[in-house]
């Protein structure tokens, strides 16, 4: 099916959703970098299931994104359809329970709910366990796929179950033991399934203590991280027994730049977009930094950022 034909057909089949053609992905990534998606849509969870079934049936290539906070989209864009779980798929529900005789709660969040939204909902109810996630700029779905974490906490600490859409179109619910959560990875990532919703188990805490801890972690982020610049967060995975930022700093690369892509002087673990950086700039910078760090320390840095689209 040629582009003009498939775009027309899918728009006719799903007229109730907003379709964007040749949509610049720089508008949908925290790096503010990326070429155009042939077709872009941000549906509800139920609409997404129908759209994905149609794409499977007709052989249409689909790329799934959340908040675009951990990706680098190529300058040549993304062929096919980009389906983004965002505001339309951001429902959050909380059920009070008792776990081992202690007051607790189950929070079920759709894939497009922002972690900050979910953390805020937890704080409002005095639920503890999500403090680490308050300042992470991703969605719940994306966070589960990569087992996002910060300040000593990870999604695996609070995940109870996840509802996933398999490549064959079937839906399954995986419990904690079936998710295969590891450092910045999961079974969902390895098998390429689509996360539809996540259920988290949180403990009852004290509302003011939870709020205060979240604010302290936000303040620490603001102080330590270059949040004034577009970035994708930590660019490299943490090497075992070390820190990527320290290895980069020790290699003399603080502030090192390729075009407008640069190693942050505030935190060497971040590659930042100083204004007009391209995906090619960022990728070249990452490769040069990895080579230099390996030469200086013997440690090869692995990207934490996911490369998407055509470079």
Average pLDDT in the 1-30 region?
Answer: 92
Strands 153-154 and 127-128: unpaired
- Are both 110 and 186 inside the same structural domain? yes
The pLDDT value recorded for residue 32 is 98
Q: What is the pLDDT of residue 108?
A: 98
Q: Could you tell me if 81 and 179 lie in one domain? A: no
The DSSP output letter for 182 is B
Among 88, 106, 129, which residue terminates a domain?
88
User: 309 lies in a domain?
Assistant: no
Same domain, yes or no, for 180 and 60?
Answer: no
- Whether residue 276 is contained in a domain is answered as yes
Q: Does residue 164 sit within a domain?
A: yes
For 156, the token pair is: 């695996």
Assess whether pLDDT exceeds 80 at residue 4: no
pLDDT at 47: 97
The percent of residues in the chain predicted with pLDDT above 70, rounded, is 99
Together in a domain, 84 and 173: no
Same domain, 48 and 122: no
pLDDT at 16 over 90: yes
Give the pLDDT confidence score for residue 7 in this predicted structure. 94
Q: Of 66, 185, 177, whose CA–CA distance to 118 is shortest?
A: 66
Question: Does 234 participate in catalysis according to the annotation?
Answer: yes
pLDDT tens column, 210-260: 999 999 999 999 999 999 999 999 999 999 999 999 999 999 999 999 999
Q: Is there a domain that residue 246 lies in? A: yes
Using CA atoms, how far apart are residues 158 and 239, in angstroms rounded to an integer? 24
- Is there a single domain that holds both residue 253 and residue 291? yes
Told to judge if 161 belongs to the known catalytic residues of this protein, a careful annotator would answer no
Last residue of a domain, one of 170, 205, 222: 222
Are residue 101 and residue 201 in the same domain, yes or no?
yes
So what's the pLDDT on residue 131? 96
Q: What is the pLDDT of residue 5?
A: 86
CATH number of the domain at 198, please: 3.30.465.10
Interatomic CA distance for residues 173 and 198, integer angstroms: 9
Residues 123 and 84 in one domain: no
* CATH number of the domain residue 51 falls in: 3.30.43.10
Handedness of CA 149, 183, 87, 82 (dihedral sign): positive
Task: Point out the catalytic residue in the list 184, 186, 231, 264.
Answer: 184
Task: Looking at the structure, tell me whether residues 143 and 210 fall in a common domain.
Answer: yes
Residues contacting 56, CB < 8 A, separation 6+: 167, 169
Which residue in this structure is represented by tokens 């450092």? 183
What pLDDT, on a 0 to 100 scale, did the predictor assign at position 100?
79
pLDDT in tens, 266-302: 999 999 999 999 999 999 999 999 999 999 999 999 9
pLDDT tens across 45-65, in order?
999 999 999 999 999 999 999
The active-site residue, picked from 26, 84, 234, 290, is 234
Residue 1 domain-assigned? no
Query: Is residue 232 domain-resident?
Result: yes
Plot region of 56 (φ>0 → left; ψ -120 to 50 → alpha; else → beta)? alpha
CATH code: domain of residue 231: 3.90.78.10
Residue 169 Cα distances to 49, 53, 78, 98, 228, angstroms: 8, 6, 23, 34, 41
Per residue in 79-133, pLDDT tens?
999 999 999 999 999 999 888 788 889 999 999 999 999 999 999 999 999 999 9
Q: Which of 106, 109, 118 is nearest to 91 (CA)?
A: 109
SS3 label, residue 175: strand
| Residue 307, SS3 per DSSP | strand
Position 102 scores a pLDDT of 83
Q: Tell me the whole-structure pTM to 2 decimals.
A: 0.92
Q: What is the pLDDT of residue 103?
A: 84
136 and 94 part of one domain: yes
Based on the residue annotation, tell me whether 218 is a catalytic residue of this protein: no
pLDDT confidence of residue 3: 64
**Do 132 and 204 reside in the same domain of the chain?**
yes
Q: Are residues 63 and 103 in the same domain?
A: no
Q: Distance between CA atoms of 127 and 202, rounded to whole angstroms?
A: 6
Strands 36-41 and 78-84: parallel
Residue 195 lies in a domain: yes
Question: Domain range spanning residue 295?
Answer: 226-301
Last residue of a domain, one of 222, 237, 271: 222
pLDDT in the model for residue 2: 62
Q: Looking at the domain assignment, is residue 306 inside a domain? A: no
Choosing from 88, 131, 154, 304, which is the catalytic residue? 304
Quote the number of domains for the chain.
Answer: 3
């Amino acid at each position: 099916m040629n582009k003009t034909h498939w775009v027309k057909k899918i728009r006719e089949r799903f007229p109730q959703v907003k379709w964007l053609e040749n949509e610049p992905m720089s508008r949908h990534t925290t790096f503010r970098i990326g070429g155009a998606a042939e077709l872009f849509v941000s549906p509800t969870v139920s609409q997404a299931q129908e759209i994905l079934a149609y794409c499977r049936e007709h052989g249409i290539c689909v790329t799934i994104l959340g908040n675009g906070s951990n990706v680098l989209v190529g300058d040549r864009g993304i062929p096919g359809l980009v389906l983004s779980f965002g505001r339309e798929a951001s429902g959050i529900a909380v059920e009070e329970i008792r776990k081992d005789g202690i007051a607790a709660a189950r929070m079920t969040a759709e894939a497009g709910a922002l972690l900050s939204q979910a953390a805020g909902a937890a704080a409002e109810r005095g639920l503890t366990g999500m403090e680490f996630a308050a300042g992470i700029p991703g969605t719940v779905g994306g966070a589960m796929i990569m087992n996002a974490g910060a300040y000593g906490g990870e999604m695996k600490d609070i995940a109870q179950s996840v509802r996933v859409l398999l490549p064959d179109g079937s839906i399954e619910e995986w419990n904690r033991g079936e998710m295969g959560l590891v450092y910045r990875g999961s079974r969902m990532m390895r098998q390429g399934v689509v996360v539809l919703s996540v259920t988290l188990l949180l403990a009852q805490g004290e509302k003011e203590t939870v709020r205060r801890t979240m604010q302290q972690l936000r303040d620490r982020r603001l102080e330590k991280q270059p949040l004034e610049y577009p970035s994708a967060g930590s660019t490299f995975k943490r090497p075992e027994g070390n820190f990527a930022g320290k290895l980069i700093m020790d290699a003399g690369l603080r502030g090192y730049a390729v075009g407008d892509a640069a190693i942050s002087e505030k935190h060497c673990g971040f590659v930042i977009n100083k204004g007009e950086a391209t995906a090619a700039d960022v990728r070249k910078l990452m490769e040069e930094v990895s080579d230099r760090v390996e030469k200086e320390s013997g440690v090869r840095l692995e990207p934490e950022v996911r490369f998407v689209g055509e470079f």
